Amino acid sequence: MVEWMCGAAGMDRWRALAVDGLSGRVVEVGFGSGLNLPHYPSDVDVVLAVEPAATARRLAERRIRESSVRVEHVGLDGQDIPLDDASCDAALFTFTLCTVPDPARALREVRRVLRPGGAVHFLEHGLSPDPGVAKWQRRIEPVQRRLADGCHLTRDSPALVERAGFVMRRSEQRYVRGPKPWSWFTIGVAVKPADGTP
């Protein structure tokens, strides 16, 4: 279902924007079925995939075979990433901060594995700034979570990213086509400060 929803026509443009500028060793949290893979720039040496769902990992196999980018599945939980401190150049979340049980913890882990100055790129749907839409998001969320693998509608991704100690470099928010509770999108890039702040 996630493959069908997240692979919807029209998402490709967003995915291409989300991966733009990634390079080197990239940890992708919630790799899913590899829908970002065709968009990765050639500057990326390896994608370190973190994904708990066996079905998603199986669906990703063909995309990995056909990709020119090397992919290593390194772990099952973005909240506990089995990589060394400061061992990655960049990180990517797409439609994953909505689903990870504890997004603050996942972002702390990503901050740990990123080198100083490393960037986290993210593309997420989330809490609408319109009170009327937000009210519906709160109402629908319990059903959404059950039907869509734990996906929340009311998470505020840019706030989560900044609270985890990243400095926002760019972010854009707007409604995309579709029902409003699901279509308030944020795309952004934030960096881990290079000043040694823990």
Ligand X SMILES: C[S@@+](CC[C@H](N)C(=O)[O-])C[C@H]1O[C@@H](n2cnc3c(N)ncnc32)[C@H](O)[C@@H]1O
51 near ligand X, rule: CB under 6 A: yes
In the complex, what is the shortest distance from the CB of residue 134 to ligand X, in angstroms, rounded to a whole number?
20
Residue nearest to ligand X (CB): 32
Q: Are 132 and 147 in contact (CB under 8 A)?
A: no
Residue 59 burial class via C-beta count within 10 angstroms: exposed 0-12, middle 13-18, buried 19 and up:
middle
Strand partners, 175: 184
Is 50 a residue that touches ligand X (CB under 6 A)? yes
Tell me if 30 contacts ligand X by CB under 6 A.
yes
Rounded least distance, CB 51 to ligand X, Å: 6
**Overall residue count recorded for the chain in this entry:** 198
Enumerate residues 148-187 that contact ligand X by CB under 6 A: 151
Chosen residue from 53, 59, 86, 104 binding ligand X by CB under 6 A: 53
Q: Does 78 bind ligand X (CB under 6 A)?
A: yes
Residue 150 CB, shortest distance to ligand X, in Å, is 6
Contacts of 114 (CB under 8 A, 6+ apart): 27, 86, 88, 89, 90, 91, 120, 192
In the bound state with ligand X, the residue whose beta carbon lies nearer, of 179 and 193, is 179
Stretch of residues binding ligand X (CB under 6 A), selected from 92-100, 107-115, 161-169, 186-194: 92-100
Rounded least distance, CB 6 to ligand X, Å: 4
- Contact call for residue 126 and ligand X (CB under 6 A): no
User: CA-to-CA distance for 9 and 168, rounded, in angstroms?
Assistant: 28
Through-space distance between the first and last CA atoms of the chain, rounded to whole angstroms: 39
Sign of CA dihedral 88, 102, 15, 189: negative
Contacting residues for 139 by C-beta, under 8 A, at least 6 apart: none
Give contact residues for ligand X (rule: CB under 6 A): 2, 6, 29-30, 32, 35, 50-53, 56, 77-79, 94-96, 99-101, 151
